[in-house]
Copies of this chain bind each other. A is one copy, B any other.
Amino acid sequence: MTSTTTETNERSAARRRVPRQARSRARVEAVLDAAAALVVEHGVEALTTRAIADAAGVPVASLYQYFADKEDVLLALADRDMAEMDEQVLSDLATLPVLTVASVVETTMRAFVTVYHRRPAFVEIWLRGRTNTALHDYGREHNRRIAATLRALALETGLADEGLAEHVALLAVEVGDRCFQLAFEHDAQGDPALVEEGIALVTAYLERHATPAGRTGVPQPGSGEGRP
């Protein structure tokens, strides 16, 4: 299995006019942290460049040294947590001795919940901030990437065969995503009942597209010599 998303999920190239490498690490992080705090407190819609700059203790103009524009800050924020999300999913899946559609779905979705719990800002940005167009698009795009990765995993391991269309995988991810949005809408911890139902829902759907082995289980591939 490979990374959930290719590299740390690079945002649309066109957008990133600012050389990421060049960013002064510490200050950039300060800006992101400040933005995250503001988002948790007031929501994505209320975020303004001045608020971020003030909270981070940098001039507004410096924001534009590190980020292409305001939305780029938001996307960087999403990127940061999403990278962690990807890692969590990967490492959790790696612990499974036996893979089934059900166990993969459950493990993946619980990994999401784990990160949501750890990152309140991510809940605000990723689950509740979708009214922001940039985040909306980012969400679609990332879901597409996740779907592709998980589909690849399923094909590699034999949980599914080529008959598993890409749009089916995407639908599963999108739908799981919506379950989380619902579960975390008013509840910072996520309504457990809704999370359970979400897992059941996605599982039920994907089992329809699974191979017999996908339902009964296949051993974790390369158990022992997994790739870095």
The answer on a CB contact under 8 Å between B136 and A131 is yes
The answer for the CA separation of A197 and B193 in the assembled complex, in Å, is 25
The answer, yes or no, to whether A130 is at the interface (CB within 8 Å) is yes
- Of residues 160 through 177 on chain A, the ones whose CB sits less than 8 Å from some CB of chain B are 165, 167-168, 170-171, 174-175, 177
The answer on a CB contact under 8 Å between B167 and A194 is yes
Q: Which of B132, B193, B194, B205 sits near A201, CB closer than 8 Å?
A: B205
Q: Is the interface of A mostly helix, strand, loop or mixed?
A: helix
Tell me how many chains of this kind the complex includes. Answer: 4
The answer, yes or no, to whether A178 is at the interface (CB within 8 Å) is yes
Give the residue among A191, A194, A205 with the most B Cβ atoms within 10 A.
A205
Hey, which chain B residues are within 8 Å of A197, CB to CB? 167-168, 171
Task: Select from chain B the residue with minimum beta-carbon distance to A205.
Answer: B201
The answer for the CA separation of A133 and B45 in the assembled complex, in Å, is 9
Q: Interface size for chain A: under 10, 10 to 19, 20 to 34, or 35 or more residues?
A: 20 to 34
The answer on a CB contact under 8 Å between B191 and A200 is no
The answer on a CB contact under 8 Å between B201 and A171 is yes
- Mask, A127-145, CB within 8 Å of B = 1, is 0001111001000100000
The answer for the CA separation of A165 and B170 in the assembled complex, in Å, is 27
The answer on a CB contact under 8 Å between B179 and A191 is no
- Of residues 180 through 211 on chain A, the ones whose CB sits less than 8 Å from some CB of chain B are 182, 185, 191, 193-194, 197-198, 200-201, 204-205, 208
Given contacts A167-B194, A175-B179, A204-B204, 12 further A-B contacts (CB under 8 A): A165-B193, A167-B191, A168-B197, A170-B182, A171-B179, A171-B197, A171-B201, A174-B178, A174-B179, A177-B178, A204-B205, A204-B208
> Residues of A at under 8 Å CB distance from B?
45, 130-133, 136, 140, 165, 167-168, 170-171, 174-175, 177-179, 182, 185, 191, 193-194, 197-198, 200-201, 204-205, 208
Going nearest first, the 7 A-B pairs with the smallest beta carbon separation are: A178-B178, A201-B205, A204-B204, A131-B131, A175-B175, A131-B133, A171-B197
* Listed A/B pairs (7) with beta-carbon separation below 8 Å: A130-B130, A131-B131, A168-B197, A170-B182, A175-B179, A178-B178, A201-B205
